[in-house]
Structure 1
Amino acid sequence: MADSWTFAVARNDLGRTTLVDSAAPTPVDGEALLRVDRVGLTANNVTYAVLGDAMRYWQFFPPEPRGLDGQWGLPPLWGFAEVVASTVEGVEVGQRVYGYLPPAGHLVVRPDRVNATGFRDASAHRAELPSPYNSYRSTTGDPAYRPEQEDLLILFRPLFFTSFMLADQVIDNDFYGVRSLVLSSASSKTAYAAAFELHGRGPRLVGLTSPGNLAFTRSLGCYDEVISYDDIDTLDVVETAYLDLSGAPATRAALRGHLGDRLVRDIAVGLTNQTPNADAAGEVFFAPVQMRKRGQDWGREGLDERFTAAWQRFAPMLSGWLDVRVGDGPEALRDAWLDVLAGRTPPRTGHVVQL
């Protein structure tokens, strides 16, 4: 089998990177080997690294078997992989799957709960980690899959799932009884996908963004109003829920100062500027929690059906909103990582890497 490779970042300095060559692993009984084929890189992946210790993201793909010590981490990616060796019935060579992948040439998995939709990785080191990240969906058993939409799924599926679950939680809570929903980092994919789901269904939607992203964010049509962070003092002083996707302390302070007790909910959704926002917010949104609730309410099939319907409403809009930039090889993955980490990627651009 061809040699493999691993891309890693220093856990204490995400701008310091390394590429390590290695031999491709050989699966033992009960395992399958995936060849990582095509992945995306967004601010979401930087979030995984920033929260690598706090949220255990570093534990999904330990560096040690790959010739790296504990100072290095493998930031998880989303994308497609191909089964190139398997000892497990129902997991066949040539099968294409979508899921959580390392920034590496290969991944050994221990497939469990194998069925027509795919399998879960039951590797011991992943047993205590959030189960949605351990699922690998077979393209042949995935109602949301379309071959021509692979790059959109790579870039948006995990973000859109977060957005879908976030919007669902807001709706499930009757919009918290507010008259205004304010989203920070409104030009980000997660924010505007959530706004797409929420628009026209409840309170007024207001997007906050930087001056340079105002035109793009307004062009999306997902928000009732888009303003600059500098203009927070122009917001109507009405009952408001804040969905914080930026983690910027100054934005939270400005909102609290302007709205006072009319800011009735303050929910940390994620971060894009590497400043953890969970401690300062009133509460934290974590998509797997709402997913588990809806799994109980609707069943797995019901959740899949609703997600697929939402995705099929959303995906056609993306051709006008997104420019996919495709790189080739591990070096392109490193370049894309550094671009996204430094904030050099325009909101219209999505990085996909063919490996």
Structure 2
Amino acid sequence: MARDDLGKTTLVSDDDTPSPGPGEALLRVDRVGMTANNVTYAVLGEAMRYWQFFPSPIGAEWGLPPLWGFADVVASRAPGVLEGQRFYGYLPPSSHLIVRGGRVDDTGFHDVSPHRADLPSPYNSYRITTGDPAYRHDQEDLLILLRPLFFTSFMLADYLIDNAFFGASSLVVSSASSKTAYGAALSLYGRGPQLIGLTSAGNAGFTRSLGCYDTVLPYSDLESLPPSPVVYLDLSGSPDLRRALRDRLGASLVRDIAVGLTGQTSNIDTADELFFAPVQMSKRRREWGRDELDRRFAAAWRGFAGEVSGWLHVSVGSGPAGLVDAWSDVRAGRVPPSVGRVVKL
């Protein structure tokens, strides 16, 4: 897609499958998801360096937005990365990916390609299905769609708890019907401050049905917000909403945290802070150790997956045209919150 116009896409065909060099492996991309998370990656592509993970083969004005999904090793010259193994991780919207295998162990490997060396380590990690406590074969589509979102949800909830909710008595969450917001709310419900979900009037009924917010308000009803200390979790990316909240809450707004965005306007510079899940993950990894972090995440994921599987419908497309269709629908907001888009390549 064009970096300066996310609605402009192109398909590039190449009949020559790349071959791995020494230390490299060739992954065949199998299934990927398309969510508002991927829109966030594209909107923040420059600011957060998301375009750097998969350089465009047709010029710097074009970008390949990272997707989450599963891929199979079809050829390997990387020690410990074996043909036939299946991995979950960060993938490009393309049929194949060359990776350089490093830090190989029974959980997977890291891509240590030079162009990814300075990028956040969690995004360079590829988890082998046989060494992943959160993996279940019958939940692959849920993992594709929701694991990266729930990772943010899980770490956001932990961050707030870790900081005693910054003294707030209420957490106000925009785009409350989004899956990232839902995952965080599910993790936080009943654990401290009251949870207030903000959403569109059309999604208010669905959001209430989730059962993880104390109060759900349409965006037009900000006057109903309590004048008590509030932390605002911004998942909408709406500058107008941020201004309206600041006008309404004044000094009661004790923290304004940009978490992601479900629209296509980046207003992270006007928030008090940007929450970046890998930072909190790195902190907990140091404090808890990797195995304990994995155990806690897997336990939380199982509870979340059990809840969401009851109402989420997965729509599966296929091939390059399926990628374009899914991107167009997600970007335009045509995918209802009860639907997830997966593409089989």
Give TM-score scaled by structure 2 length: 0.99
Partner SS state of residue 7, structure 2: strand
Q: Aligned partners of 1:252 and 1:124: how far apart in 2?
A: 39
Q: Which structure 2 residues correspond to residues 185-196 of structure 1 after superposition, within 5 A?
A: 185-196=175-186
Q: Aligned partners of 2:320 and 2:292: how far apart in 1?
A: 38
Q: Aligned partners of 1:313 and 1:177: how far apart in 2?
A: 28
1:20 to 9, 12, 15: 12
Q: Aligned partners of 2:25 and 2:115: how far apart in 1?
A: 16
Partner SS state of residue 192, structure 2: coil
| Cα displacement string for residues 230-281 of structure 1 (whole angstroms, at most 9, x for unaligned residues) | 0011111111110111111121122111111011111111111111121111
Q: Aligned partners of 1:102 and 1:283: how far apart in 2?
A: 29
Matched, 1:138 2:131: no
1:224 to 209, 214, 231: 214
Q: Aligned partners of 1:263 and 1:44: how far apart in 2?
A: 26
Asked if 2 retains the 8 angstrom alpha-carbon contact of 1:143 and 1:308, the reply is yes
Percent of aligned pairs with the same residue?
Answer: 68
2:228 to 225, 228, 238: 238
In the TM superposition, residue 321 of structure 1 has moved relative to its aligned partner by: 2.6
Partner SS state of residue 18, structure 1: coil
2:305 to 307, 315, 320: 315
Q: Aligned partners of 1:208 and 1:36: how far apart in 2?
A: 37
Q: Which structure 2 residues correspond to residues 207-286 of structure 1 after superposition, within 5 A?
A: 207-286=197-276
Matched, 1:332 2:322: yes
Q: Aligned partners of 2:241 and 2:11: how far apart in 1?
A: 37
Q: What is aligned with 2:44?
A: 51
Q: Which structure 2 residues correspond to residues 168-179 of structure 1 after superposition, within 5 A?
A: 168-179=158-169
Partner SS state of residue 320, structure 1: coil
Q: What is aligned with 1:354?
A: 344
Asked if 2 retains the 8 angstrom alpha-carbon contact of 1:270 and 1:277, the reply is no
Partner SS state of residue 279, structure 1: helix
Matched, 1:29 2:18: no
Q: Aligned partners of 1:167 and 1:290: how far apart in 2?
A: 10
1:93 to 73, 77, 83: 83
In the TM superposition, residue 92 of structure 1 has moved relative to its aligned partner by: 0.9
Aligned residues: 344
Q: Which amino acid aligns with 2:38?
A: N
Question: Gapped runs of 5+ residues in structure 2?
Answer: none
Q: Aligned partners of 1:183 and 1:197: how far apart in 2?
A: 13
Q: Which consecutive segments of 4 or more residues in structure 1 shift more than 4 A?
A: none
Q: What is aligned with 2:53?
A: 60
Asked if 1 retains the 8 angstrom alpha-carbon contact of 2:23 and 2:79, the reply is no
Asked if 2 retains the 8 angstrom alpha-carbon contact of 1:295 and 1:303, the reply is yes
| Cα displacement string for residues 111-154 of structure 1 (whole angstroms, at most 9, x for unaligned residues) | 00111100000000000001100000000000000001000000
Give TM-score scaled by structure 1 length: 0.96
